[in-house]
Amino acid sequence: MDLPITPFSVAHGRELGMTDRQLDSATLNRPFRGVRSISAPSSLIERAEALACVLPVGAAFSHTTSAQLQGLPLSYALEADERLHVIHRIDRPHLRRANVVGHRAVHARAVTTVHGLRVVGLADTWVDLGELVGRGKPLGLDDAIVVGDACATALRSTAPLKAALSRRVRPRGKALLTEALELIRVGSWSPRETTARIMFVRAGLPEPLPNQAIFASWNPEVLLGYGDLVWQIDLPDGRKVRLIGEYQGAEFHSGDLQQTHDDFRCTRLEDDGWIVIEIWAVDMATASARWAIIRRFAQELHVPESALTLHGTDPRFFSRHAIDAAIARDELWRARRA
């Protein structure tokens, strides 16, 4: 008998005519209880395919598993959870399997198909990640903004995120997700672009537009390229500021060929009156580096340093609500000790 190429359930194996002896053979891998496969699943997709063989009807992959299957950018702390997250209706029994986290949903989730697997939709996945907010948990404010940017860009709107959050009654992490929504935008193409954008906004600079098409001033049909972060500002004296912040990831932009391409594109933009400033990871690595790059952009945007809030540009993990609650607890503790 030819064995199925893909993972299969023990029940399906019996339907194919396999005997218990064949199903218990040491030559078959057992990725999950009740599942057999010719080889051990290695990737996330392969492990999810193996588990899907024995999931109850209506179940879907959720939380960090859904995020990874749909290519959302997660922090190292979130990616470190290698367990598979699965959600199904509240009236179904708890799903208990090794290396699997079972969730039961009170509110319905939109479900889509990714890699042939049932997966919670992007907007509901973003809200579900709010369950990972809190003391000792891995999701922070900036993480939620980065993931939210990716979701909003894929959905072409922030409205689905707002709607998914509003449909839930007292969801976990609501305060943090609500604050994250204030800075989530459509158009980001990478986590670092999002991080740079919110750094500039928190510093008090005008908000740039992400990944804007730049057309030649002498011919609006000629595309000069796309700017990662784009400012077009009319100054009171009539001058126009046209500024582009280009995030240069070392893994993509340090090679000779790519650097030559970047230099050529930058020259075309500058010849047409644009100011182009490159942003590297080192520019956001420390407080002093962040302040230096912010001051450089502020100078080009004609924003006085007195209007900047340089102390507020550090990456943020906790929401304003969490910080205020911590301050209140500390003041209460001090009052009791007095």
204-215 pLDDT tens trace = 999 999 999 999
Evaluate whether residue 328 is within a structural domain: no
Q: Which domain holds residue 227?
A: 191-312
Residues 265-291 have a mean pLDDT of 94
The per-residue pLDDT for 133 is: 95
Computed over every residue of the chain, the mean pLDDT equals 92
What confidence category does residue 260 fall into, taking pLDDT thresholds of 50, 70 and 90? low
List the structure tokens of 203: 């510093």
- 39 with 79, same domain: the answer is no
Evaluate whether residue 216 is within a structural domain: yes
What confidence category does residue 99 fall into, taking pLDDT thresholds of 50, 70 and 90? very high
- 103 with 124, same domain: the answer is yes
- 159 with 241, same domain: the answer is no
280-305 pLDDT tens trace = 999 999 999 999 999 999 999 999 99
The per-residue pLDDT for 252 is: 54
Least confident window among 84-93, 276-285, 323-332: 323-332
Evaluate whether residue 22 is within a structural domain: yes
List the structure tokens of 131: 């369950």
What confidence category does residue 330 fall into, taking pLDDT thresholds of 50, 70 and 90? confident
* Separation between Cα atoms, residue 194 and residue 190, nearest integer Å: 7
- 37 with 83, same domain: the answer is no
Continuous segment of H or E residues that includes residue 269: helix 256-271
What confidence category does residue 321 fall into, taking pLDDT thresholds of 50, 70 and 90? confident
What confidence category does residue 263 fall into, taking pLDDT thresholds of 50, 70 and 90? confident
More confident residue, 323 or 260: 323
Evaluate whether residue 35 is within a structural domain: yes
- 203 with 236, same domain: the answer is yes
- 174 with 197, same domain: the answer is no
Do the Cβ atoms of 88 and 60 come closer than 8 Å? yes
List the structure tokens of 17: 């005519």
| Residue after which a domain boundary falls, among 129, 155, 181 | 181
- 206 with 304, same domain: the answer is yes
Residues 216-232 have a mean pLDDT of 94
Residue matched to tokens 């040491």: 26
Evaluate whether residue 326 is within a structural domain: no
- 46 with 65, same domain: the answer is no
Instruction: Report yes or no on whether pTM surpasses 0.75.
Output: yes
Evaluate whether residue 272 is within a structural domain: yes
What confidence category does residue 242 fall into, taking pLDDT thresholds of 50, 70 and 90? very high
Continuous segment of H or E residues that includes residue 88: strand 84-89
* Separation between Cα atoms, residue 213 and residue 210, nearest integer Å: 9
- 153 with 75, same domain: the answer is yes
What confidence category does residue 94 fall into, taking pLDDT thresholds of 50, 70 and 90? confident
What confidence category does residue 101 fall into, taking pLDDT thresholds of 50, 70 and 90? very high
- 175 with 67, same domain: the answer is yes
pLDDT surpasses 80 at 141: yes
- 177 with 105, same domain: the answer is yes
Do the Cβ atoms of 142 and 317 come closer than 8 Å? yes
Evaluate whether residue 330 is within a structural domain: no
Domain count, the chain: 3
The end-to-end CA distance of the chain, in Å, is 80
| Residue after which a domain boundary falls, among 181, 201, 232 | 181
| Residue after which a domain boundary falls, among 152, 181, 210 | 181
- 35 with 105, same domain: the answer is no
Evaluate whether residue 284 is within a structural domain: yes
The per-residue pLDDT for 312 is: 86
